[in-house]
Structure 1
């Protein structure tokens, strides 16, 4: 006669980490007269460790939409891939792209069942005329400016001071670079390089990745 396994043995036992792996980032997006600017740092952190200095936190979804990501790196990459697939399937079925608002609603509906779980995702959808923030509990917010991550308070300080609708393209790019630079200088979980995308009615364009250490030294020279 075989013994029946206990109920405790039949369930997987969750193992707690010996210490919490805090993570952080700095991502931002804002609307101006020339379209939408999306910018982010490139440091992936796990507690006090720099897991990777050169990750991509801005992902093109289609020709007129990019997404900035904050939260768990694995969760963000998974949901960006799912979103890209669903948008492509919609385009194949209906012979047109899903709108930015429709994309945000779709993402919110997909994430809502995971509310209260360990899924940690905060995505900002940056279309050429619209900015919508969606997080892992299904919340969906539309606005003219968003900054997400542990470095966002520092980025907001720069953006609130200088952002205006009348900025030209070069002024908007300089503002986004400075916002990310200031955040990475003060926030331990943000750093390394800056990625920047400019989204217009013609599509998105990616600016060449820049090393923020050089920005720091240029800033110090100005103060001398």
Structure 2
């Protein structure tokens, strides 16, 4: 089975001047078989750091629980909140250690800490890159085109939210294994807010 049959769906991340927006559609598929229309691919790690993935949902869930548990222990030992990069580096180590029998996921970590907003992208082998925006999954090509057209330095988290919704919506129209709504995680220094936005069906002739 090819990579494109496994790393299904569409997820995006956008860094703003005052926060980070993570977003994903809700469709769960294996190949082109639809398993569910209500999957959740966004995971809260700390009060100010979140994770979004594309790929096999079971692997996403296992990784999110592993990261959340270990970061919680780290925070108790360090007696301070974990940084976004600390969360991403731990996830990178988990993915790298399992590279010969890998978790079938691509992931992004977004958060706001003492040094400001950060968005960090990881592949299934644990490669780690910080960027202003990114997209994962089978709908990534369409989504990244929408983001690149609209993104500019210094945009607000509210603007990033609208761009993320548009990117997921357009990808869902063109990717058979993406769709059924947009889950959003808006991360600012005040904390994390989650919401779900329905995807209207495109008009047909």
TM over 0.5: yes
Q: 2:119–2:133: 8 Å Cα contact kept in structure 1? A: yes
Residues 198-209 of structure 1 mapped to structure 2, 5 A cutoff: 198-207=186-195, 209=196
What is the SS of the residue equivalent to 1:206?
strand
Partner of 2:106: 122
Name the TM-score, length of structure 1 as normaliser: 0.83
Selected match of 1:38 from 22, 25, 30: 22
Alpha-carbon distance in 2 for matches of 1:34, 1:118:
34
Deviations for 1:133-184, whole angstroms, at most 9, x for unmatched residues?
1222121111111100000100011001011123334332221111100000
Gaps of at least 5 residues in structure 1 are: 1-16
Q: State how many pairs are aligned.
A: 200
Partner of 1:132: 120
Bigger share in strand: 2
Gaps of at least 5 residues in structure 2 are: none
Deviations for 1:43-92, whole angstroms, at most 9, x for unmatched residues?
00012211010111111111101100112111111111000000011112
Residues 1-224 of structure 1 mapped to structure 2, 5 A cutoff: 22-23=5-6, 24-128=8-112, 129-207=117-195, 209-212=196-199, 214=200, 216-217=201-202, 220=203
Q: 2:20–2:157: 8 Å Cα contact kept in structure 1? A: no
Higher RCO (C-alpha under 8 Å, 6+ residues apart): 2
Alpha-carbon distance in 1 for matches of 2:183, 2:62:
20
Alpha-carbon distance in 2 for matches of 1:174, 1:101:
25
Aligned Cα root-mean-square deviation (Å)? 2.2
* Structure number with larger C-alpha Rg: 1
How far the C-alpha of 1:118 sits from its partner, in A, is 4.2
CA distance 1:168–1:98, shift in 2 (3 Å): closer
What is the SS of the residue equivalent to 1:204?
strand
Which stretches of structure 1, 4 residues or longer, exceed 4 Å deviation after superposition?
none
